[in-house]
Structure 1
């Protein structure tokens, strides 16, 4: 899969600022998750934040970053998005959603809510 996924508490990920995952909450969660490691940084000085990396089951490396109340997942992998990132979404009490609005759940892919 070569497009972005989003972990968000909003009905649609682009509304994440209305129902945000707080940055401090994300950082606390990410630091406690052994499947994530810091792979770089965004920003400078006090404003900088870590870019976390996750190695997928197919060996691909993806990045996870916090942006405007949601977690953005970027990279290419061949696995099932829910199996790769569903536990992270559940751990944050949030949804896993693709760029096209589809939702990934344990029950399968749900169509956009439009």
Structure 2
């Protein structure tokens, strides 16, 4: 299914600028993560930043980009690909959240907080 996930330090991913993962922090992490590879670029000149691809265990490939203090994960994947990104969120001391507010860890889905 096509779906977006967000890695953020904010309680809600759309508030990521208040508790950001800095771009430098993200780029340093992505550089040492063997599962991430530069797929392309966003922007121009000194403002450009890489778009990373991540192969999921189901064979699909998703993209990861930094945007306003959060990491956006976009793509089409089957199965439980979000579990793969729970570890990335934990490495960055952040949360993994879906578009509808659901929260995940490397172990699975967390119960709703409300």
TM-score, normalised relative to structure 1: 0.94
- Whole-angstrom distance in 2 between the partners of 1:85 and 1:64: 10
RMSD: 1.3
Return structure 1 stretches of 4+ with deviation > 2 angstroms: 110-114
* Deviation at residue 3 of structure 1 after TM alignment: 1.3
In the TM superposition, what whole-angstrom CA distance separates every residue of 1:13-61 from its partner, at most 9, and x where no partner exists? 0000000000000000000000000000000000000000000001101
* Deviation at residue 81 of structure 1 after TM alignment: 3.6
The within-5 A match list for 1:71-82 is 71-82=71-82
The within-5 A match list for 1:21-100 is 21-100=21-100
Runs of 5+ consecutive residues of structure 1 not aligned to the other structure: none
CA contact (8 A) 1:100 1:112 kept: no
- Whole-angstrom distance in 2 between the partners of 1:108 and 1:75: 19
TM-score, normalised relative to structure 2: 0.94
The number of residues matched between the two structures is 114
CA contact (8 A) 2:4 2:99 kept: yes
Q: Secondary structure at the match of 1:4?
A: strand
